[in-house]
Amino acid sequence: MRPAESVSWRRFAALPLGAASALAFAPFEYFPVLWLTLGGLYALLGPAADGGLVRQGAITAGLFGLGGFLAGVSWIFVSLSTFGGMPAPGAAFATFVFCAGMALYPALAGALFARLAPPAGARRALVFAALWTLAEWLRGWFLTGFPWLAVGYSQTPPSPLAGFAPIAGVYGVSFLTVLTGAFLAEAAFGGCRRNRLPMAAVPAVLLLAGVALSGHGWTTPQGETLRVALLQGNIAQDMKWRPEELEESLLAYYYLMRDNPARLTVLPEAALPMFLSDVPAEYLGAMGQLAARQDGDLIFGVVTGDWSRYANSAVSLGASGTQRYDKSHLVPFGEFTPPGFAWFMEMVNIPMSSFTPGEEKQTPFSAGGQKIAVNICYEDAFGAEIVRALPEATLLLNLSNMAWFGDSLAPAQHLQIARMRALETGRMMLRATNTGMTAIIGADGAIRAALPPFTRAALTGEVTAHAGSTPFARWGNTPAVAASLLPLLAFARRRKTPS
């Protein structure tokens, strides 16, 4: 095969290989798929690394990333078109542009791999895992960050690699996931036959170590169990903000709370579709009385402030008094307009898209006799921010409105992200959502209970507070970043062959 034909074939193969990677994430959760697809990408990048072909490495890895994002975050189209009011062609183009932008991160990793990779073997596999992980970490904070589909999220239980999450977090799990795929590729396609068995042994050791770590309790339960009720109102997004539907929304949550008494009751993000100052006082009084039946508390999502300055907030009522949390990590385009994109916002219909962010560090709520770290929607995608409330907080609570994404992959993927946060922190995670996935997640990342999506119901259950700190809660992403930098410092060498 001539070189040009080889390059063309590899570029063609990378795109569907990346698209297949979406099967590793929720709702499919075929977690070994990523070991194979990333191993396949590693093999496809081999000739580029051997020849120092930076451009070929960037295109191959970029197409892999493009396929993965187009398949995995197709829900962006749903949000823009179905609920944002953007014409379908424009929404499709915007989704493609966004996915292409996200694909620049794996493209960067592929380019650097082609430039810096040592000869085939363990060192090359380590450099590949390191570069991929650093690119994901960069994507997780640059320009406010978009950590969705970091490969570590695919390895929630029952994946053996989930055992490493309390130590090194999602990016540490990403590193080990990529490393597993790279070593499998070395075992399958490596040039030296006598090295194939040792290469295959490395993934086996990693998986066994993960299983052993999964049995370790990094935090300890404390106190009595707490009865909770998580209310899922199932208010359609296109009806939510209509004035004529307001009474139904308010009554839906009142009746759900009345019929499901608990010491801690939680309503989802923006459950009351108005400013807090506009909520009828008698309604708040009635909800407060329901909370007081159990000497308990109510936490609900609502917009606070006025049209000159407003925040996406969680507010509490009940035995512990009134408290407030303002969302600090806002969603670009959904909650604030990035500079230079006012023209884009004119094309979509998103109510209240100029929120004011809250403080980065806010005091956990005292409710139901516990300290609760509240976060709203997209915020739980940022593990290093969630741990700011630890070790003081004994429970994690996420309020979300996933109605923006309809019956797409987004709700299940968001639930999987929340499971990773529970693993990282050693805390139970409660999720109250408008349309799904409302769930109670154990400190081990397992789903203890969940409501079917698009149903109006209350999820009730007993939860346990946890004390103590995991290694990730103490050190955040530092171990994962350091582990990724070390192979580069130890093994990387500059290529002399021009690209």
443, 278 contact by CB (below 8 A): no
Cα atoms in the Cβ-side hemisphere of radius 13 Å centred on 266: 34
For 284-322, give the DSSP string: HHHHHHHHHTTT-EEEEEEEEEETTEEEEEEEEEETT--
User: Is the peptide bond prior to 352 cis by the omega test (within 30 degrees of 0)?
Assistant: no
Which residues partner with 370 through β-bridges? Answer: 367
* Backbone φ and ψ of 141, nearest 5°: -135, -20
Q: What residue ranges in 327-392 does DSSP mark as E strands?
A: 365-367, 370-376
Q: What does each C-alpha distance from 149 to 1, 63, 73, 235, 312 come to in angstroms? A: 35, 16, 8, 27, 25
C-alpha to C-alpha distance for 161 and 376, rounded to whole angstroms: 27
CA-based torsion, 51, 56, 62, 63: positive or negative = negative
Q: At what angle do helices 281-292 and 246-259 cross, to 10 degrees?
A: 10
Strand order in the sheet with 395-400: 365-367, 370-376, 395-400, 429-433, 439-441, 447-450
**b/e map 267-299, b = 16+ CB within 10 Å:** bbbbbbbbebeebeeeebeebeebbeebebbbb
Distance CA(101)–CA(357), nearest Å, equals 25
Catalytic residues, by residue number, are: 269, 327, 377
Strand 447-450 with 370-376, pairing: unpaired
User: How buried is 250 (Cβ within 10 angstroms: 0-12 exposed, 13-18 middle, 19+ buried)?
Assistant: buried
Q: Which residue's entry shows tokens 């120092």?
A: 52
At 325, the amino acid letter reads Y
Signed CA dihedral, 62, 63, 65, 66: sign only: positive
User: Measured over all CA atoms, what is the biggest interatomic distance in the chain, rounded to whole angstroms?
Assistant: 78
Residue type, 251: L
DSSP 350: -
